Structure 1
Protein backbone atom coordinates (compact mmCIF):
# COMPACT_ATOMS: atom_id res chain seq x y z
CA UNK A 1 0.00 0.00 0.00
CA UNK A 2 1.15 3.52 -0.77
CA UNK A 3 2.80 4.99 2.36
CA UNK A 4 0.81 8.22 2.04
CA UNK A 5 -2.50 6.37 1.81
CA UNK A 6 -1.86 3.86 4.58
CA UNK A 7 -2.95 6.06 7.51
CA UNK A 8 -6.03 7.36 5.68
CA UNK A 9 -7.18 3.88 4.66
CA UNK A 10 -6.41 2.38 8.07
CA UNK A 11 -8.37 5.16 9.84
CA UNK A 12 -11.39 4.75 7.55
CA UNK A 13 -11.53 0.99 8.02
CA UNK A 14 -11.05 1.26 11.78
CA UNK A 15 -13.76 3.91 12.14
CA UNK A 16 -16.31 2.29 9.82
CA UNK A 17 -15.43 -1.42 10.40
CA UNK A 18 -15.41 -2.15 6.67
CA UNK A 19 -13.52 -1.50 3.48
CA UNK A 20 -16.72 -1.37 1.42
CA UNK A 21 -16.72 2.02 -0.32
CA UNK A 22 -20.54 2.14 -0.41
CA UNK A 23 -20.83 1.58 3.34
CA UNK A 24 -18.06 4.07 4.14
CA UNK A 25 -19.59 6.73 1.88
CA UNK A 26 -23.01 6.25 3.48
CA UNK A 27 -21.49 6.44 6.94
CA UNK A 28 -19.73 9.69 5.99
CA UNK A 29 -23.01 11.19 4.78
CA UNK A 30 -22.04 11.10 1.12
CA UNK A 31 -25.08 10.60 -1.10
CA UNK A 32 -24.64 7.94 -3.78
CA UNK A 33 -26.65 8.21 -6.96
CA UNK A 34 -26.74 6.15 -10.14
CA UNK A 35 -27.39 7.81 -13.50
CA UNK A 36 -26.66 7.44 -17.18
CA UNK A 37 -23.43 9.43 -17.51
CA UNK A 38 -22.84 8.75 -21.18
CA UNK A 39 -20.17 6.76 -22.95
CA UNK A 40 -16.99 8.07 -21.34
CA UNK A 41 -17.84 9.06 -17.77
CA UNK A 42 -17.82 6.29 -15.18
CA UNK A 43 -18.47 8.48 -12.16
CA UNK A 44 -18.14 11.87 -10.57
CA UNK A 45 -17.83 13.48 -7.18
CA UNK A 46 -19.21 16.89 -6.30
CA UNK A 47 -20.40 19.09 -3.48
CA UNK A 48 -23.58 21.16 -3.61
CA UNK A 49 -24.97 23.23 -0.77
CA UNK A 50 -22.67 21.54 1.76
CA UNK A 51 -23.81 18.09 0.64
CA UNK A 52 -21.46 15.59 -0.97
CA UNK A 53 -22.42 13.34 -3.86
CA UNK A 54 -20.92 10.41 -5.71
CA UNK A 55 -22.67 9.68 -9.00
CA UNK A 56 -21.91 6.34 -10.66
CA UNK A 57 -22.77 5.40 -14.23
CA UNK A 58 -25.77 3.10 -13.91
CA UNK A 59 -24.75 0.78 -16.74
CA UNK A 60 -21.43 -0.31 -15.24
CA UNK A 61 -21.02 -3.88 -14.01
CA UNK A 62 -20.86 -4.28 -10.19
CA UNK A 63 -17.01 -4.52 -9.95
CA UNK A 64 -16.71 -1.23 -11.83
CA UNK A 65 -19.42 0.41 -9.69
CA UNK A 66 -17.52 -0.62 -6.58
CA UNK A 67 -14.20 0.63 -7.99
CA UNK A 68 -15.69 3.94 -9.11
CA UNK A 69 -17.29 4.45 -5.70
CA UNK A 70 -13.90 3.83 -4.04
CA UNK A 71 -12.20 6.14 -6.57
CA UNK A 72 -14.66 8.98 -5.93
CA UNK A 73 -14.42 8.36 -2.18
CA UNK A 74 -10.69 8.89 -2.67
CA UNK A 75 -11.41 12.33 -4.10
CA UNK A 76 -13.54 13.11 -1.04
CA UNK A 77 -10.84 12.04 1.39
CA UNK A 78 -7.75 13.27 -0.48
CA UNK A 79 -8.90 16.31 -2.45
CA UNK A 80 -11.16 18.30 -0.16
CA UNK A 81 -13.32 20.78 -2.01
CA UNK A 82 -12.39 19.62 -5.51
CA UNK A 83 -14.99 17.99 -7.78
CA UNK A 84 -13.35 15.64 -10.25
CA UNK A 85 -14.67 13.48 -13.07
CA UNK A 86 -13.35 9.99 -13.61
CA UNK A 87 -13.23 9.74 -17.39
CA UNK A 88 -12.90 6.40 -19.10
CA UNK A 89 -10.34 6.24 -21.87
CA UNK A 90 -8.59 9.54 -21.21
CA UNK A 91 -7.80 8.84 -17.57
CA UNK A 92 -6.40 5.38 -18.28
CA UNK A 93 -3.50 6.55 -20.38
CA UNK A 94 -2.61 9.95 -19.03
CA UNK A 95 -4.29 10.43 -15.68
CA UNK A 96 -3.46 13.59 -13.85
CA UNK A 97 -1.99 13.54 -10.38
CA UNK A 98 -5.39 13.71 -8.65
CA UNK A 99 -6.79 10.87 -10.76
CA UNK A 100 -3.75 8.67 -10.09
CA UNK A 101 -4.09 9.34 -6.36
CA UNK A 102 -7.80 8.47 -6.42
CA UNK A 103 -7.07 5.27 -8.35
CA UNK A 104 -4.36 4.26 -5.89
CA UNK A 105 -6.72 5.07 -3.03
CA UNK A 106 -9.40 2.83 -4.58
CA UNK A 107 -6.99 -0.07 -5.06
CA UNK A 108 -5.57 0.33 -1.53
CA UNK A 109 -9.05 0.46 0.01
CA UNK A 110 -10.40 -2.51 -1.93
CA UNK A 111 -7.37 -4.69 -1.13
CA UNK A 112 -6.87 -3.52 2.48
CA UNK A 113 -8.20 -6.66 4.18
CA UNK A 114 -6.71 -9.10 1.68
CA UNK A 115 -3.31 -10.63 1.09
CA UNK A 116 -2.02 -12.46 -1.96
CA UNK A 117 -2.30 -16.21 -1.62
CA UNK A 118 0.66 -18.56 -2.02
CA UNK A 119 1.80 -18.48 -5.62
CA UNK A 120 -0.85 -15.92 -6.54
CA UNK A 121 0.34 -13.26 -8.97
CA UNK A 122 -0.39 -9.60 -8.34
CA UNK A 123 -2.71 -9.73 -11.35
CA UNK A 124 -4.68 -12.66 -9.89
CA UNK A 125 -4.76 -10.98 -6.47
CA UNK A 126 -6.22 -7.75 -7.86
CA UNK A 127 -8.82 -9.65 -9.86
CA UNK A 128 -9.82 -11.62 -6.74
CA UNK A 129 -10.14 -8.30 -4.89
CA UNK A 130 -12.60 -7.08 -7.54
CA UNK A 131 -10.31 -4.53 -9.16
CA UNK A 132 -11.41 -4.14 -12.80
CA UNK A 133 -8.87 -5.73 -15.11
CA UNK A 134 -8.36 -2.51 -17.08
CA UNK A 135 -6.94 -0.83 -13.98
CA UNK A 136 -4.31 -3.51 -13.40
CA UNK A 137 -2.12 -2.44 -16.28
CA UNK A 138 -1.86 1.19 -15.25
CA UNK A 139 -1.90 1.34 -11.46
CA UNK A 140 0.32 -0.93 -9.38
CA UNK A 141 0.86 -0.41 -5.67
Structure 2
Protein backbone atom coordinates (compact mmCIF):
# COMPACT_ATOMS: atom_id res chain seq x y z
CA UNK A 1 0.00 0.00 0.00
CA UNK A 2 2.91 2.35 0.70
CA UNK A 3 3.89 2.20 -2.99
CA UNK A 4 0.34 3.18 -3.97
CA UNK A 5 0.38 6.07 -1.50
CA UNK A 6 3.77 7.24 -2.76
CA UNK A 7 2.51 7.18 -6.37
CA UNK A 8 -0.63 9.06 -5.37
CA UNK A 9 1.39 11.77 -3.60
CA UNK A 10 3.80 12.09 -6.55
CA UNK A 11 0.95 12.35 -9.08
CA UNK A 12 -0.89 14.98 -7.01
CA UNK A 13 2.24 17.08 -6.55
CA UNK A 14 3.14 16.86 -10.22
CA UNK A 15 -0.38 17.65 -11.44
CA UNK A 16 -0.83 20.65 -9.14
CA UNK A 17 2.84 21.73 -9.06
CA UNK A 18 2.93 22.03 -5.27
CA UNK A 19 3.67 20.02 -2.13
CA UNK A 20 1.84 22.45 0.12
CA UNK A 21 -1.10 20.60 1.73
CA UNK A 22 -3.21 23.76 1.99
CA UNK A 23 -2.77 24.53 -1.72
CA UNK A 24 -3.45 20.92 -2.69
CA UNK A 25 -6.65 20.90 -0.63
CA UNK A 26 -7.79 24.11 -2.29
CA UNK A 27 -7.10 22.74 -5.77
CA UNK A 28 -9.00 19.55 -4.89
CA UNK A 29 -12.01 21.62 -3.75
CA UNK A 30 -11.62 20.60 -0.13
CA UNK A 31 -12.80 23.29 2.28
CA UNK A 32 -10.41 24.02 5.15
CA UNK A 33 -11.54 25.59 8.41
CA UNK A 34 -9.45 26.62 11.38
CA UNK A 35 -11.44 26.18 14.61
CA UNK A 36 -10.79 26.44 18.31
CA UNK A 37 -11.14 22.69 18.89
CA UNK A 38 -10.72 20.74 22.11
CA UNK A 39 -7.04 20.37 23.03
CA UNK A 40 -7.17 16.62 22.35
CA UNK A 41 -8.39 17.15 18.77
CA UNK A 42 -5.82 18.25 16.21
CA UNK A 43 -8.23 18.09 13.30
CA UNK A 44 -10.63 15.93 11.35
CA UNK A 45 -11.86 15.21 7.83
CA UNK A 46 -15.54 15.06 6.97
CA UNK A 47 -17.40 14.16 3.80
CA UNK A 48 -20.99 15.33 3.68
CA UNK A 49 -23.38 15.75 0.77
CA UNK A 50 -20.59 15.47 -1.82
CA UNK A 51 -18.57 18.15 -0.03
CA UNK A 52 -15.20 17.59 1.62
CA UNK A 53 -14.12 19.47 4.73
CA UNK A 54 -10.95 19.57 6.80
CA UNK A 55 -11.12 21.17 10.24
CA UNK A 56 -7.84 22.08 11.94
CA UNK A 57 -7.34 23.17 15.53
CA UNK A 58 -6.44 26.86 15.41
CA UNK A 59 -4.51 26.55 18.69
CA UNK A 60 -1.79 24.44 17.06
CA UNK A 61 1.53 25.83 15.87
CA UNK A 62 1.84 26.52 12.15
CA UNK A 63 4.06 23.43 11.84
CA UNK A 64 1.41 21.23 13.42
CA UNK A 65 -1.40 22.85 11.39
CA UNK A 66 0.54 22.02 8.22
CA UNK A 67 1.11 18.44 9.40
CA UNK A 68 -2.54 17.99 10.40
CA UNK A 69 -3.66 19.39 7.05
CA UNK A 70 -1.43 16.88 5.23
CA UNK A 71 -2.76 14.02 7.39
CA UNK A 72 -6.41 14.97 6.84
CA UNK A 73 -5.71 15.50 3.14
CA UNK A 74 -4.50 11.91 3.16
CA UNK A 75 -7.89 10.82 4.46
CA UNK A 76 -9.64 12.92 1.81
CA UNK A 77 -7.60 11.44 -1.04
CA UNK A 78 -7.13 7.84 0.11
CA UNK A 79 -10.49 7.12 1.79
CA UNK A 80 -12.80 10.00 0.91
CA UNK A 81 -16.01 8.39 2.16
CA UNK A 82 -14.70 6.94 5.43
CA UNK A 83 -16.01 8.50 8.61
CA UNK A 84 -13.30 7.50 11.09
CA UNK A 85 -14.84 9.19 14.18
CA UNK A 86 -18.08 7.28 13.53
CA UNK A 87 -16.24 4.00 12.90
CA UNK A 88 -14.18 4.44 16.06
CA UNK A 89 -17.20 5.22 18.23
CA UNK A 90 -19.91 2.97 16.81
CA UNK A 91 -18.27 -0.12 15.35
CA UNK A 92 -15.72 -2.75 16.19
CA UNK A 93 -13.78 -1.96 13.02
CA UNK A 94 -10.21 -0.83 13.54
CA UNK A 95 -9.36 2.56 12.10
CA UNK A 96 -5.64 2.02 12.74
CA UNK A 97 -5.01 1.09 9.10
CA UNK A 98 -6.68 4.29 7.88
CA UNK A 99 -4.68 6.41 10.34
CA UNK A 100 -1.39 4.76 9.34
CA UNK A 101 -2.18 5.39 5.67
CA UNK A 102 -3.04 9.05 6.34
CA UNK A 103 0.19 9.48 8.34
CA UNK A 104 2.17 7.82 5.55
CA UNK A 105 0.56 10.17 3.02
CA UNK A 106 1.49 13.17 5.19
CA UNK A 107 5.08 11.97 5.63
CA UNK A 108 5.56 11.37 1.91
CA UNK A 109 4.04 14.76 1.10
CA UNK A 110 5.97 16.83 3.63
CA UNK A 111 9.39 15.17 3.78
CA UNK A 112 11.74 16.05 0.94
CA UNK A 113 13.91 13.02 0.24
CA UNK A 114 16.58 15.27 -1.29
CA UNK A 115 17.01 17.09 2.02
CA UNK A 116 18.14 13.92 3.81
CA UNK A 117 21.84 13.30 4.27
CA UNK A 118 23.20 9.90 5.37
CA UNK A 119 24.53 11.33 8.64
CA UNK A 120 21.32 13.18 9.62
CA UNK A 121 19.59 12.29 12.86
CA UNK A 122 15.81 11.99 12.96
CA UNK A 123 15.67 15.29 14.82
CA UNK A 124 17.74 16.98 12.09
CA UNK A 125 15.57 15.54 9.31
CA UNK A 126 12.42 16.69 11.11
CA UNK A 127 13.90 20.17 11.58
CA UNK A 128 14.95 20.46 7.92
CA UNK A 129 11.48 19.46 6.75
CA UNK A 130 9.51 21.38 9.40
CA UNK A 131 7.66 18.28 10.61
CA UNK A 132 7.27 16.60 14.00
CA UNK A 133 9.83 13.85 14.65
CA UNK A 134 6.96 11.36 15.12
CA UNK A 135 6.03 11.69 11.45
CA UNK A 136 9.36 10.14 10.46
CA UNK A 137 8.08 6.76 11.69
CA UNK A 138 5.83 6.70 8.62
CA UNK A 139 8.52 7.58 6.10
CA UNK A 140 10.72 4.94 4.50
CA UNK A 141 14.20 6.29 4.03
CA UNK A 142 15.70 5.27 0.72
CA UNK A 143 18.86 7.38 0.90
CA UNK A 144 20.04 6.23 4.33
TM-score, scaled to structure 2: 0.81
Deviation at 1:134, TM superposition (A): 4.0
Aligned residues: 131
State the distance in 1 between where 2:66 and 2:132 align. Answer: 9
Q: Which has the higher mean CA deviation after the structures are superposed, 116-125 or 62-71?
A: 116-125
Q: Which stretch shows the higher mean deviation, 123-132 or 49-58?
A: 123-132
Q: Does 1:66 align with 2:79?
A: no
TM-score by length of 1: 0.83
Spell out the pairing of 1:21-100 with structure 2 (5 A cutoff).
Answer: 21-84=21-84, 96-100=96-100
Higher normalized contact order (CA 8 Å, seq sep 6+, divided by chain length): 1
Higher helix proportion: 2
Runs (5+) with no aligned partner, structure 1: 86-94
Structure 2: segments with no counterpart, 5+ residues: 86-94
1:112 & 1:133 partners in 2: Cα distance? 14
Q: Report which of the two structures shows the higher radius of gyration computed on alpha carbons.
A: 2
Please give the root-mean-square deviation of Cα atoms over the aligned residues, in Å. Answer: 2.0
8 Å Cα contact 1:44-1:72 kept in structure 2: yes
